[in-house]
Amino acid sequence: MARINIEGAQNVNVSKRLPSEKTPDEQLAIMEAYTRAHQESLNRNKAERELNCLKVLFPTLFRRIEPQDLIAGRLDFLPIGFGSVTSIGGVGHYCVFHELRAFSERLEDPEKKARAMALYDYWQDHDVKALYCNDVLNDTTTGRFIDCKYPFMATARLSGMMLNYEKLVRLGINGICDELNRVEDNDFIRACIGAMDLFKDVIQKQIQLVQNAMADADPKRMKELVQMKEDLEFLLDHKPETFRQALQLLWLFALCAGCINYGRLDIVLGPYLKRDLENGTLTWEEAREIVRSLWTLIENRRTTVNGRIIVGGQGRKDPEACDLFARLCLEVCRSTKYVEPQFTLRFDSTTPKELLDMAYDCLASGHTYPTLYNDDVNVPAVAWGMRVDRKTAEQYVPFGCTEYVIQGKSTGTPNTLLNLLKILQMALNEGVDPMDGINKAGPVHVKKLEEFHTFEEFFDQYKQLLDYYFDLSVQAQKYSYEVMNREVSFLFTSILMDDCIARGRALLDGGVEILGGTNETYGNINTSDALYAIRKLVFEDRKYTLRQLNDAALADFEGQENARIRKDLLAQGKYGNDIEEVDTLANELYEYVAKGIRDRGIAAGLGYYLIVISNNQTNSDWGLQTDASLDGRKKGMYMNPANNPVGGAAKNGPTACMNSLAKFDAKYHAGSVQNMKFTPRMMKEDEAKVRAMWKTYFKKGGCQLMVTCVDPGELEDAMVHPENHTDLIVRVAGYSAVFINLDRHVQEELLSRELYD
Amino acid sequence: MISVSNIERFATRDGPGIRTTVFLKGCPLHCPWCANPETWQKEPVLMHMENKCVHCRICESVCTRHAISFEEKMFRIRRESCDHCGQCAEACLNSALSINGTYMENEAVLREVLKDLDYYRESGGGVTFSGGEPLFQKEAAVSLIKQAKESGLHVAIETTGVCEPSLLQQAEPYIDLFLFDIKHVNEEKLSAVTGAPFEIVQKNFEYLCEKRGGDVIARVPVIPGFNREDLDEILTFIKAHPVRAVNLLPFHNLGKTKWHQLQKDYAYEEASSLSAKELEPYRDELVTIGG
């Protein structure tokens, strides 16, 4: 029986899912069969157990082909099953307990309800994440993701796997099988071979589903379906030869592997596209419709913060072919308004102007895509941060909200999250979190405020607390790999990750070339602004004592005297205004945290372990559970997004903000997102100036930029009249969303950000 | 030291490229449509936002010169008594009060301006001195302009044309671009409404056009009831000079709240902004609409 709370939200989930195609009875039967397969395989090796379980899910859970589909492959998932990420189920053998409970409550027959709840009981002791959480979570320091009472949250998941699809299309199914048959046999390899057989069953199933769709097809649709069927049949025994076939193959494999980020598809698909166009077997318009179909399939998976397709940048063998695919994607991006895929353009100083023009046009017309990643900065930064050579670093890919991995070569799942601001408040309150009065300092002795005689003494105290949490963080990350590896092999993922097959080992069992990881940090800028205000008002101007400031915050700045103190706090320099001493302190904190995490990761034997300042909406959620802070922020207020200024604090215009943003050296993090809002007027009328501004920012070291384009008053109006703004898409942080689907406190945070006009 | 109203970075409408506009204080004119009435006087000025004021009267209690009162439940300020010490603004918990204007060293102004040097270089931008009348502060202004030029910046000024000709001539070599306001060419109308002597405007304009015509952009704020009907006459005058371009700037009322904050009556309270479209018939190879 689980000791910890196993229910509750486990990921940021804004988009509404499509309901399962299966009837509740069918779903119950599948979940029971899955559970049975798991139970009966308990004494088998983990790889075989996984395969037995996967055989219950595949190909059964594949849905019918929809009329607009040009590629086959739609997959349901249930409250119990196998996966990698919480966005589509869970990790390894999973049970999403609150969804299973809700499922059982929808069943009318008490006997069936009881059957569902029997599964609930079984999985309490077998759900991989619950097993992890049982060991790691506690009542003070470490909470479940997402339980915002804690300064630190930890989870088990395998997010952001981007597979070596280039290998898949180059070898085809049989080629992969040959490779598996060539290496020394073991449990893992045998299960991989079984998985590839299962993959063929999945393709067979698609053929059947396509045939089903032919029943009521008109001649035009029939032609498309015939093509799909021929392609699927061809793939059973051949490696792909056309653009369509290559895409079909990788799409189905990604579904089976539970991958929801796809990576550098221009490298995989560009050469096929080029060849098909050249030999006249495919027109540009046909290709665009195929990509549009891919866009729709990804949108329909509704994974909120994922769905990354990346084009452009360094490290591509045939840039011309790749750029053809990039152009196709940009055209589709311009003509669809979806929150996913998270379409991403990597670029550098050599990127063709045409692509940059198209990207600008997409952004100026309010699509929020592509997100922009600057290879001139990121490639050397990744090489240093992850300790890999430049060639390897060229294959970096941002997944989810922005975390970088090396495609086909590294894991980088962010299984740990730190709230820097909460920890600062503990430093101010002898280790106690003023939000709930609980001491969360662990073994760290935290001095009384009167004992700090210099700013440095106080800052050191804060650093001691941070150090303690960094230790917790690296342990929790490593342990998540241990637990996942104990339970599962991630067969499909392992097959396409270097160098699992050659090593004959599963992904987390020594198979993956680079076992990395990431730690999300939150409240970075509230914290550095607060530290700056403390230094200035207490230790430089000596206007207040630290006690006076802290007492005011504990009272949430209520009462006239406290309100005056808050006014003073708010009047201090804030990050985002290009103020040297403020930015320097922000950078000092950033580097302390980034290096603290990175060094511990190296010491613990990880390939890399780096912070990400990515932000989903956890800055808002965690803010609700974080007490008033000495940057002037009220209790329960959202925290700053990513490493961007606190909402409303950046008063000096976009160049000042960009100068502040560019000060953090990218080599210490594995992704950091920079959100800015511009008006359509500015994007249109001042295009040359806006582009010159971005270009300068990127030259100055800016690693990334994501843009929301809205009219003044549009967000406010959408809060009052959501019905008039159903297609208003905004960039929250590391993901886009339909504005009216967001929680109100997230909407308010977005509104607070400066809109440049 | 020079009295500065505001420094605006990423100013996009005050000359080419990305610019920083330095709004200097002091103006000999009093145009009733002015968008920056807080710059009229060289000295700092107290501004009050009624919508933020909760009438707590803390400001009144801290003012040692008794300049503030709340007669008839209205915030009132006796400006002749105010020495803009700023204590009231500091005491105001709702930030309803603020002081506009700071005396700055040239170096401090330029330090701020130079923060965006890379952006100017990429975009062909620079610094624009505006106001008020940027030359109102005479030698102090000339010295700042000179220093800006010596820092390698592209320098523009946005001038009313109302300043001692000798001053303008002193500053001229350090200025790359002149955004020169021609508000009217009818001497009486101009003087009656804005207080500007056309004779000086004309003299300065002709001097610049003769010497640097290619670096002069004439700007006409188009104001209904003042010069909207006289545009042909104004354009004929301008076009008789070898200017680089003419910008017609359609009237807008975005400065309205500032008039309220200064407790001044705004003459265009009910007037709506003039649409750029309305001025389209005047567009030609020399004339553009907007800045």
Q: A131, A134, A152: which is closest to A143 by C-alpha?
A: A152
Q: What is the total count of domains within chain B?
A: 2
- pLDDT given at position A7: 79
Q: Is the ipTM of this complex over 0.90?
A: yes
Q: Is A654 on the interface with B (CB under 8 A)?
A: yes
Q: Chain B interface, mutation test: which of A663, A679, A689, A690, most B Cβ atoms within 10 Å? A: A689
A1 — pLDDT class (breaks 50, 70, 90) = very low
* Average confidence score pLDDT of chain A: 96
Do B26 and B96 belong together in one domain? no
Residues B88, B231, single domain; the answer is no
| B152-185 pLDDT per residue, tens | 999 999 999 999 999 999 999 999 999 999 999 9
Any B CB within 8 A of A686 CB: yes
Q: pLDDT-derived band of residue A540, with 50, 70 and 90 as boundaries?
A: very high
Do B225 and B84 have their domain in common? no
Mean pLDDT of all residues in B144-153? 98
Optimal mutation site among B21, B114, B116, B154, interface A, most CBs of chain A within 10 A: B116
**Per-residue DSSP letter, A734:** S
Are B221 and B116 in the same domain?
Answer: yes
Q: What is the pLDDT of residue A3?
A: 60
Residue B127 sits in the same domain as residue B262: yes
Q: Which of B8, B95, B118 sits opposite A699 (nearest CB)?
A: B118
> What part of A 171-190 touches B (C-beta under 8 Å)?
none
- CA of B276 vs chain A CAs: smallest distance (Å): 13
Is the pLDDT assigned to residue A615 strictly greater than 90?
Answer: no
- Interface contact flag, B10 A756, Cβ < 8 Å: yes
> In B, what residues contact A, Cβ < 8 A?
8-10, 12, 17-18, 91, 93, 95, 115-116, 118-119, 121-123, 125
Q: Select from B12, B115, B121 the Cβ nearest to the Cβ of A689.
A: B12
- Please give the residue of chain B at the shortest CA–CA distance from A682: B12
Please tell me whether residues B160 and B218 are part of one structural domain: yes
pLDDT band with cut points at 50, 70 and 90 for residue A8: confident
| Cβ density class A663-697: b for 16+ within 10 Å, e for less | bbbbbbbbbbbbbbbbbbebbeebeebbbbbbbbb
Residues B146 and B251 in one domain: yes
A54-58: which pairs have CB atoms within 8 A and are 24 or more residues apart?
Answer: A54/A82, A54/A195, A54/A198, A54/A256, A54/A491, A54/A492, A55/A198, A56/A30, A57/A30, A57/A81, A57/A82, A58/A198, A58/A201, A58/A202, A58/A205, A58/A256
CATH code, B63: 3.30.70.20
Task: Label residue A734 by pLDDT band (50, 70, 90).
Answer: confident
Closest CB from A567, A655, A700 relative to B9: A655
Nearest to A692 among B95, B115, B123 (CB): B123
Q: In terms of CA atoms, which chain A residue is nearest residue B113?
A: A656
pLDDT class of A90 with cuts at 50, 70, 90: very high
Residue A756 contacts B where some CB pair is shorter than 8 Å: yes
Q: Please write the tens of the pLDDT for every residue from A293-352.
A: 999 999 999 888 899 999 999 999 999 999 999 999 999 999 998 999 999 999 999 999
Q: Is A659 close to B115, i.e. CB distance below 8 A? A: yes
Give residue-wise pLDDT tens across range A150-199: 999 999 999 999 999 999 999 999 999 999 999 999 999 999 999 999 99
Percent of all residues in chain B with a pLDDT value above 70, rounded to a whole number: 100
Within an 8 Å CB–CB cutoff, is residue A695 touching chain B? yes
Contact B9 A682 (CB under 8 A): no
Whether the predicted pLDDT of A13 surpasses 70: no
Whether this model's pTM surpasses 0.80 = yes
CB contact under 8 A, A652 and B95: no
Residues 553-612 of A with CB under 8 A from B: 560, 563-564, 567, 578
Question: Does B204 share its domain with B82?
Answer: no
Residues from chain A contacting residue B93 (CB–CB below 8 Å): 560, 563-564, 567
pLDDT of residue A212 exceeding 60: yes
Domain of B224: which CATH number? Answer: 3.20.20.70
Of B74, B100, B126, the residue at which a domain comes to its end is B100
The pLDDT value given to residue B50: 93
B113 and B94 fall within a common domain: no
Mean pLDDT throughout A81-110?
Answer: 95
pLDDT for residue A463:
98
| Mean pLDDT of the region A631-655 | 95
Mean pLDDT lowest for which of A371-375, A721-725, B23-27?
A: A721-725
pLDDT digits (tens, 9 = 90+) for A223-270: 999 999 999 999 999 999 999 999 999 999 999 999 999 999 999 999
- Given an 8 Å threshold on Cβ–Cβ distance, is A653 in contact with B17? no
What residues in B contact A659, CB-CB < 8 Å?
115-116
Same domain? B136 vs B119: yes
Boundary-marking domain end, from B68, B100, B132: B100
Please tell me whether residues B117 and B7 are part of one structural domain: yes
A11 pLDDT more than 70:
no
**Distance (Å) from the alpha carbon of A696 to chain B's nearest alpha carbon:** 6
Section A100-109 average pLDDT: 96
Segment B235-250 mean pLDDT: 97
Residue A706 in this model has a pLDDT that exceeds 90: yes
Say whether both B90 and B187 belong to one domain.
no
Half-sphere CA count of A151, side-chain side, radius 13 A? 30
**pLDDT recorded at residue A15:** 66
Across the range A714-722, mean pLDDT stands at 92
- Final residue before a domain boundary, out of B100, B122, B145: B100
Instruction: Kindly determine whether residue B93 and residue A560, on different chains, have CB atoms separated by under 8 Å.
Output: yes
**A696 near B CB under 8 A:** yes
Q: What is the 3-state secondary structure (H, E, C) of chain B?
A: CEEEEEEEEEECCCCCCCEEEEEECCCCCCCCCCCCHHHCCCCCEEEECHHHCCCCCHHHHHCCCCCEECHHHCCEECCCCCCCCCHHHHHCCCCCEEEECEEECHHHHHHHHHCCHHHHHHHCCEEEEECCCCCCCHHHHHHHHHHHHHCCCCEEEEECCCCCHHHHHHHHHHCCEEEEECCCCCHHHHHHHHCCCHHHHHHHHHHHHHHHHHHEEEEEEECCCCCHHHHHHHHHHHHCCCCCEEEEEECCCCCHHHHHHCCCCCCCCCCCCCCHHHHHHHCCCCEEECC
CA distance B174 to B153: 10
Q: What is the mean pLDDT of residues A7-31?
A: 84
Q: What is the mean pLDDT of residues B124-133?
A: 97
Min Cα–Cα distance to chain A from B170, Å: 32
Domain extent, residue B63, equals 45-100
A679 touches chain B (CB under 8 A): no
